Amino acid sequence: MSDLHFRPADEADLASVVRLRDDAARWMLARGVTGQWRPGELSGDHFRRVMETGEVWLAETAGRVVGAWELWWQDEDAWGRQSSPAGYVHRLMVDHRRVPPGAGRQVLRAAEHRVAEAGRPLVRLDCLAGNSRLTTYYLDAGYRVVGHKEGKPQPDGTRKSFTLLEKPAPAGDA
């Protein structure tokens, strides 16, 4: 998908990111992935807070937002204090109605390259424990399971368990 372009989100993009996130949650639920995301769970305020300490990135094609991710520079709730700096990818999502298969992997690669550009040697992410399909997706993308986190706090106050994964940031981008 060569016409996919990436840029940081700003205040004017918040409604688009919330809509994309809600659509991704509905897509998961329609495929039997429960317990991960729910429509209406996150508002623009969530993404605004992320932009204060991290980054929210968009994937666009033909002027339309079709993907996004959050990039955090620390995640002590899941990973604790770490001696090796990393970038933490969260809420990777694509609009499955508007992008072909493989676009999610392209968005993930863009996130990994952004981590490398920031000079961080590792890319870390987590996925809901028990979501074997998503865990396999990340393993196929070169990540390795490095741990588990029980009871990680969520934006809505609930606690969930996650599988922790990491891989080296792409070489040549730092």
User: Digits of tens for pLDDT over the chain (174 positions)?
Assistant: 458 899 999 999 999 999 999 999 999 899 888 878 889 999 999 999 999 999 999 999 988 899 999 999 999 988 989 888 999 999 999 998 888 788 899 999 999 999 999 999 999 999 988 888 889 999 999 999 999 998 877 777 788 889 999 999 998 654
| pLDDT value for 2 | 57
Only one residue has tokens 């840029």, namely 7
| pLDDT value for 77 | 85
Which SS3 state, helix, strand or coil, does residue 142 take? coil
CA distance 15 to 46: 11
Q: Judge whether 163 and 126 are in contact, CB under 8 Å.
A: yes
CB under 8 Å to 136, separation ≥6 — which residues?
Answer: none
